Chains A and B, each alone.
With several copies, the nearest count.
Chain A
Amino acid sequence: MGLERAFADEPAFVPYLAAGDPDYDASIEYVEALARGGADVIELGLPFSEPIAEGSTIQEAVVRSLDAGMSPDRFFEFVEELDVDVPLVCMTYYNLIYQYGSGQGPEPFVEKAAEVGIEGFVVPDLPAEEAGPLRAACDEYGLDLIFIVAPTTKGDRLASMMDQTSGYVYVQARLGVTGAKDDVDDATEESLARIAEWDVPKAVGFGIKNGDHAERIVSAGADGIIVGSALVDIVAEGHENGDPADEVAARLEQKARELKEGALRGAQNRPQPEGT
């Protein structure tokens, strides 16, 4: 439980890639390029065969990764092999976590993740109501469990999530799944207002494509930005064109830099809070 530290000094840039997309070795290079590009936390997707919460961009990444042989055990090897100095979060679906313990619950998966250096989880199909056992295992091994707050999340549900989330909170900036729309929704400010009193950093995701988007989101009050599809697009395009992995890695690094810089600009623009 320490992902908060990545948001402490400046707005955090939190990129996502599906581990093993399009193959194990290239993916190692790509993740390392994101770290070089300024990532503060990296969300690594462990692909599940039924990614019901993903947009088509990430869904296709998941298929590429699975076709190339990714599995939970390979994922843990992947994490161990990574040469990055950035906190890593595992983003996956609950069945993989649950099943790793041969039906005994999430604890064996969390134990193994902690062992290889994972610091937290995002589990898109695990709402707060079903999260008890995973939350307990995370507590046991000192890992964070990050929840997603949607624009539709209101009232009692917010309170219940506030109790359970740690590390940071993933703020879904607008309705829809991980997506590729070009606009940055003005509802970001409103979303942030609803969780203003939460004491975890607020990372905003869904739809951030470039430095300008990043800047506007941070200006609106986000403690960090989460970017997935825009990066996966670069991987997909490189794969389709048969580009060498180092070229694709360079593009990812450059995109990461653009996004991080946008976030930094956003922090400068941010209106000073009144009062405090």
Chain B
Amino acid sequence: SKFGDYGGQFVPEALMPAIEELTDAYERYVIDNEDGFMDEFRRRLADFGGRPLPLQRADQLSARYDTEVYLKREDLLHGGAHKLNNALGQVLLAKYMGKERIIAETGAGQHGTATAMAAAHLDMPCEIYMGETDIARQRPNVFRMRINDAEVNPVTTGRGTLKEAISETMRDWATTVETTHYVIGSIVGPAPFPAMVRDFQSVISEEAREQIQEQTGGLPDAVLACAGGGSNTMGAFHHFVPDDDVDLYAVEAGGSSLSVDEEEGVAPNSASLSTGDEGVLHGARTKLLQDSDGQIMESHSVSAGLDYAGVGPELAHLVDEGRVTPVNVDDDTALEAFHRLSQDEGIIPALETAHAFGYLERVAGPATDDRAAEPRDEHHDELGDTVIVNVSGRGDKDLETVIEETQKRDLDIAPDMSIFNEIGGGI
């Protein structure tokens, strides 16, 4: 249950039996494929989720960067992001375990919608905890959950955001462990969640590794994925980890700055791999954003889905081992990359995803004042000739944010939206 020194099971005693039961179920059904669990999981991922998903050569980006850029298209998964890989796996596992009820928490709403979809598909009652502030910010996702027949329980304590929702879900679970499974949405939390969620998400790299070999005859030089909690990241990396020649870049949200406001307890970024240090959060020892006392900092990113103060323990371990390189790009770079992929490739990415493309631009893009010193060709030493970028999700959910944040910044690459100011109607 550990990844080096990371991981573990730092949870209230009342939950430990559930964690043990889940560990047992994970080993039997997921690892040993008992009762054909994994076969059913894969069949449902295909039929319901739409897998396998393409590994697409990006024509315009490949030309721009003079590098073969391949896109792993998780944005095409049912629901619009990689989230369903995990949600479907866990809800199905809960069914095999004889659980009668699903709970989950959600911040930006992506995990909540994926869980609600999976629960509806598998005919399991489902309740989602969501802070009331997040509910007001993310109404389309709230409506999707309700329309999929999930109960959405507004959490009114504290600031009404993700952290309070996590606490509230833990509280529900602590009361109902015997009948209920808590679907954690990333490779975080107590063991066995980090390994289990990774296993469900690893279908990404399993497919991508086969596909890149079919298409290019070899392995890529690098794999890039954005990293918040890290489930799409480890999903995209897992099957490449043993391939020592494949560089793995976890692209974190640099937010508005990498520096920290200890006074306010705010880190204006979500770069826990790049800047965080070891601690215990939400059931696991990992890297996190904390002040010198050990209080968890408020993180920040223009992308709600990366806005988390911790990261999966396995990623923390792989970073310490030197196997994964943590990098980060700031909000501006991510927004520019959002527009670039939309305009050049006809794929509107999630803002989370845009971070990975922002890093690509920074390393391999045309020279700018910032990059004047680095000649264009050097990136080949860094990224190599063939790069896979994980398109973890689609950006429809981010339209409002992108427009608002783009207008604040006056980015050169952004399309002119002023025409619509003259015509009525809300977004």
- Closest B residue by C-beta to A51: B167
- Closest B residue by C-beta to A175: B175
B32 CB, min distance to chain A CBs, angstroms: 22
Once the chains are docked, how many angstroms separate the CA of A93 from the CA of B293? 12
Among B14, B164, B166, the most chain A Cβ lie within 10 Å of the Cβ of B14
List residues 2-24 of chain B with CB under 8 A from any CB of chain A. 8-14, 16-18, 20
**A149-B13, A157-B17 given; A125·B293 CB < 8 A:** no
B residues sitting closer than 8 Å to A (CB atoms) are: 8-14, 16-18, 20, 157-158, 163-164, 166-168, 170-171, 174-178, 265, 277-283, 290, 292-296
A95 and B279 form a contact (CB under 8 A) = yes
B171 and A148 form a contact (CB under 8 A) = no
Which residues in A have their C-beta under 8 angstroms from that of B178? Answer: 152, 175
A residues sitting closer than 8 Å to B (CB atoms) are: 48-56, 59-60, 63, 66, 71-73, 93-100, 102-103, 124-127, 129-130, 147-154, 157, 161, 172, 175-177
Between A and B, 23 residue pairs with Cβ closer than 8 Å are A50-B163, A52-B11, A52-B12, A52-B166, A52-B167, A52-B283, A63-B157, A72-B293, A72-B294, A93-B280, A96-B294, A96-B295, A125-B280, A148-B12, A148-B13, A150-B13, A152-B16, A157-B20, A161-B13, A175-B176, A176-B14, A176-B171, A177-B12
| CB-based A-B contact count at 8 angstroms | 134
A98 and B294 form a contact (CB under 8 A) = yes
A43 CB, min distance to chain B CBs, angstroms: 15
A50 and B176 form a contact (CB under 8 A) = no
B13 and A172 form a contact (CB under 8 A) = yes
Kindly list the 3 A-B residue pairs having the minimum CB-CB distance in the complex, ordered from nearest.
A99-B294, A150-B14, A152-B17
B375 CB, min distance to chain A CBs, angstroms: 40
Which residues in B have their C-beta under 8 angstroms from that of A72? Answer: 293-294
Once the chains are docked, how many angstroms separate the CA of A161 from the CA of B16? 12
**A98-B279, A125-B283 given; A50·B294 CB < 8 A:** no
Once the chains are docked, how many angstroms separate the CA of A125 from the CA of B170? 12
Among A53, A59, A176, the most chain B Cβ lie within 10 Å of the Cβ of A53
A6 CB, min distance to chain B CBs, angstroms: 22
Once the chains are docked, how many angstroms separate the CA of A16 from the CA of B168? 21
Once the chains are docked, how many angstroms separate the CA of A177 from the CA of B175? 7
Which residues in B have their C-beta under 8 angstroms from that of A175? Answer: 14, 174-178
A53 and B293 form a contact (CB under 8 A) = no
A185 CB, min distance to chain B CBs, angstroms: 12
A259 CB, min distance to chain B CBs, angstroms: 23
Which residues in A have their C-beta under 8 angstroms from that of B166? Answer: 50, 52
B16 and A53 form a contact (CB under 8 A) = no
**A124-B12, A125-B11 given; A95·B290 CB < 8 A:** yes
Once the chains are docked, how many angstroms separate the CA of A56 from the CA of B277? 29
A95 and B177 form a contact (CB under 8 A) = no
- Closest A residue by C-beta to B169: A52
B8 and A153 form a contact (CB under 8 A) = no
**A127-B13, A175-B175 given; A50·B158 CB < 8 A:** no
**A50-B167, A95-B279, A99-B294 given; A125·B14 CB < 8 A:** no
A90 CB, min distance to chain B CBs, angstroms: 14
**A52-B167, A95-B280 given; A157·B294 CB < 8 A:** no
A99 and B281 form a contact (CB under 8 A) = no
**A50-B281, A52-B167, A177-B174 given; A125·B10 CB < 8 A:** yes
Query: B293 is contacted by which of A96, A148, A151, A154 (Cβ under 8 Å)?
Result: A96
B14 and A152 form a contact (CB under 8 A) = yes
Which residues in A have their C-beta under 8 angstroms from that of B279? Answer: 95, 98-99, 103
B334 CB, min distance to chain A CBs, angstroms: 26
Once the chains are docked, how many angstroms separate the CA of A14 from the CA of B296? 29
- Closest A residue by C-beta to B191: A129
A157 and B280 form a contact (CB under 8 A) = no
Which residues in A have their C-beta under 8 angstroms from that of B290? Answer: 95, 99
Once the chains are docked, how many angstroms separate the CA of A57 from the CA of B164? 13
B158 and A53 form a contact (CB under 8 A) = no
Which residues in A have their C-beta under 8 angstroms from that of B14? Answer: 148, 150-153, 172, 175-177
Q: A52-B282, A99-B290, A152-B14 are in contact. List 12 more A-B contacts (CB 8 A).
A: A60-B157, A63-B158, A71-B293, A94-B280, A97-B294, A98-B294, A99-B292, A102-B292, A130-B8, A154-B17, A161-B13, A177-B14
